[in-house]
Amino acid sequence: MIETFLALPCGVKLPNRLAKSALSEQLGTIGSHAPDERLVRLYRRWAQGGSGLLVTGNVMVDRRALGEPANVVVEDDRDLEALAAWAAAAKSEGAVAIVQVNHPGRQSPRTLSPRPVAPSAIGLKGMGGAFAVPRELTVEEIADLVRRYAETARVCVAAGFDGVQLHGAHGYLISQFLSPLANQRTDRYGGSAENRRRFLMELVAATRAAIGEDKVLSVKLNSADFQRGGFTEDESILVAKALEEAGVDLLEISGGTYEVGAMMGVTQRESTRQREAYFLEFAERLRGQVSLPLMVTGGFRTAAAMSAAIESGAVDVIGLGRPLAVDPDFPRLLLAGKSSEVANIAPRSVGIRKLDAMAEVVWYTTQLWRMGRGLEPAVTKSSLVGVGEYVVKSQVPAVLRGMAGQLPVLGARWR
């Protein structure tokens, strides 16, 4: 069933059930945050790999609020030509391509945002001071953010993308509004579960109005935050029901935040690891409550597990992230019956336990950079070399940006 097409409620058809899920490429230009030829090369390579759906990494709605130094930012039409080249490359082999639209909220490093914004003035815990305590958004600023998300979506669709995905997971701004730990507002955007999801529902309505009824509107949602007193599975189900009623076309299930990295398998039980997919059990529970198409990302490694998930009816789309960073042809080979398991996904270590999880993320990011340069992944590349490359190309510019924080382009921030 993996090879069968899937018709989404908006009418768009995915040619198969395999999706390249969002990975933060960090391939925007420093300073101007425009997409460039590296993203075109990367997505042309992934298009050749055979996935039915390609979801881009973070595209931010405000250049004053970045998750990483080289995020692409879309605020208006200024980079429409570059966006069009990116969209054309992603769709060049028949895949549906959508843009992940995001705002980091409090998950913006201190080097990029000395004073980030969030639903409430509550900082991240256990992050070693890397993130500043945020300032609480005003109601007027929330309205402006709704406008920004919708405008970003409009521009991306005008450039040729088939739709967008609102990133409501992993502790970013939408996820912060949903969490009773991060959102302690007392106005209409806080308190009850209904109030805490108001921001997301306003974004869904505004985005749909901006892109039209025939374009893909997806949401990425946490199954839970995996924090005591945080966003729970029961509440996630309520949000999913509201999203279905609002006409969302595809719901991707994930989990965790920067504080608790469930999306990287950090908190998963051994029984879950044996079934491969991190959030499959929640998807099975959710399927009994909603009928909209569901996508699960995280942990899938074998054709058998992917096929079983689809055939069970709990999942409609299989999301693949890291596997396609090291084996971009895996979907095509799987669909042709020439591959049954993702290779080269062994844990990457630098020999320091507290740094290994981050080093692993960095190693995969540098594989994307290789493909952006027109090279193939280098699976034998050491983790230490990857960390070194990442520091030089990503973190050094971030520090310099922080030092130059008063410059109009590099240091603009919330007042």
pLDDT digit string (tens) for 116-165?
999 999 999 877 789 999 999 999 999 999 999 999 999 999 999 999 99
Q: Which residue blocks in 117-274 are alpha helix, DSSP H?
A: 139-158, 173-178, 193-196, 198-211, 233-245, 270-274
pLDDT given at position 152: 98
Cα angle for residues 356, 126, 184 (degrees, 5° grid): 135
Inform me whether the pLDDT recorded for 386 exceeds 70. no
How far is it, in rounded angstroms, from Cα 168 to Cα 231? 12
Chain mean pLDDT for the chain = 89
Q: Judge contact between 193 and 141, C-beta under 8 A.
A: no
What are the structural domain ranges in the chain?
Answer: 6-347
Q: Judge contact between 97 and 90, C-beta under 8 A.
A: yes
Question: What is the average per-residue pLDDT within 327-339?
Answer: 96
For residue 278 the two structure tokens come to 């991190």
Q: Is 242 exposed, middle or buried (0-12, 13-18, 19+ CB in 10 A)?
A: middle
**Domain made up of 6-347: CATH architecture:** Alpha-Beta Barrel (3.20)
For residue 183 the two structure tokens come to 């959102």
Question: What is the average per-residue pLDDT within 325-335?
Answer: 96
Q: Model confidence at 381, in pLDDT bands (50, 70, 90)? A: confident
Inform me whether the pLDDT recorded for 9 exceeds 70. yes
Q: Which residue blocks in 55-188 are alpha helix, DSSP H?
A: 80-90, 139-158, 173-178
Q: Which residues contact 298 (CB under 8 A, 6 or more apart)?
A: 254, 263, 264, 265, 277, 278, 279, 319, 321
Of the ranges 73-87, 215-229, 248-262, the best mean pLDDT one? 73-87
Quote the percentage of the chain above a pLDDT of 90.
75
Q: What is the pTM of this model?
A: 0.90
Residue that wins the pLDDT comparison between 109 and 383? 109
Residue that wins the pLDDT comparison between 163 and 263? 163
Question: What is the average per-residue pLDDT within 354-364?
Answer: 75
Q: Model confidence at 383, in pLDDT bands (50, 70, 90)? A: low
Question: What is the average per-residue pLDDT within 241-246?
Answer: 98
Question: What is the average per-residue pLDDT within 223-231?
Answer: 87
Inform me whether the pLDDT recorded for 69 exceeds 70. yes
Q: How far is CA 25 from the centre of its chain?
A: 10
pLDDT given at position 413: 30
Distances (CA, A) of 367 to 19, 53, 229, 290, 302: 18, 20, 37, 37, 21
- Which residue, 147, 234, 134, is CA-closest to 185? 134
pLDDT given at position 327: 95
For residue 34 the two structure tokens come to 């425009």
Inform me whether the pLDDT recorded for 234 exceeds 50. yes
pLDDT given at position 186: 97
- Which residue, 163, 164, 149, is CA-closest to 62? 149
Inform me whether the pLDDT recorded for 408 exceeds 60. no
